[in-house]
Structure 1
Amino acid sequence: MSRSAPYRRSPSLTFKEALEQAQTVRFGVVQTIGPACFVVRNLDESTAPSAKFRVKISNTHACSCSGQGRKGDRTNEEYCPHVLFVLHKVLRLSAEDPLLWQLALCDREVEDILSVRNAPSACSSKSKALSAPTSVGDGSVKRREIEPTTDLCPICHDLL
């Protein structure tokens, strides 16, 4: 399938501002609904009551905060911070990845983004060995050590 919006060679200024906001505000994944749909909530207590927003990753990403995942009204051409949080933190697209600032993706690009999340990491064999339960003499299970350079928080997706 073809792209529904033209390919952008570089990020716009408004995209950079939205990405900065997505990186400074603390969001968390409350629920994962399938491989491409996430429920996101603002974790900062200082802001207004935190509503939950449903983010869908597809050919044109969508968020329940504004109907189409766009920031503010539909005249603005950038995605909201909720969509950018999911793409950048949860699905681990780097800030330099051109797929992050595209307004529309083709099917292959969506599959590539989602397959990275489900792919085993380079240190997965080490983590599996560490996560295998080892009994301690009294019947309890020994805790797995946290790897500060690779382990991510399952809610906010920051390094532990």
Structure 2
Amino acid sequence: MARPTPELINALRRTAQNLKNGASYQWGHMGGCNCGNLAQELTKLSKDQIHQYATQRHGDWNEQVDDYCPTSQMPLDLLINEMLNAGLMLEDLKHLERLDGREVLSRLPIEKRFLKHNVREDVIVYIHTWAAMLEEQLLEMITLPFIQKRELAQPF
């Protein structure tokens, strides 16, 4: 599962908001699909640039992730590497494309867990839920130092 980083959480939220506000969405387009929309936020590349990089090899995001090589210098591998540096894992990209990450789905009511991978509204629900989960994980990692009462500054 992804490392909960502020950069990733914010990118997920912006992606969901963009989709809600009518951003281009086309599941069969490598730059305009589920992963493509998140890639736009994390890399600042356009959907057409992402699609162009992806068409240098064959396959959808699942196949591209399977073929990923961190040292290849292929444009899509560099893009995926940037996404991984933001906190994602390769499996997260596969789950996002299919909306089938168990940890994310388990946070939804049972009757809402059957998301369709190519329906904009379902993508928005999945991404919002994932961002909230990662934010909770990030907050759990924050510990504040214990300050004894006598160390506190006295008012006036």
Q: Is TM (by shorter chain) over 0.5? A: no
Q: TM-score, normalised by structure 1?
A: 0.29
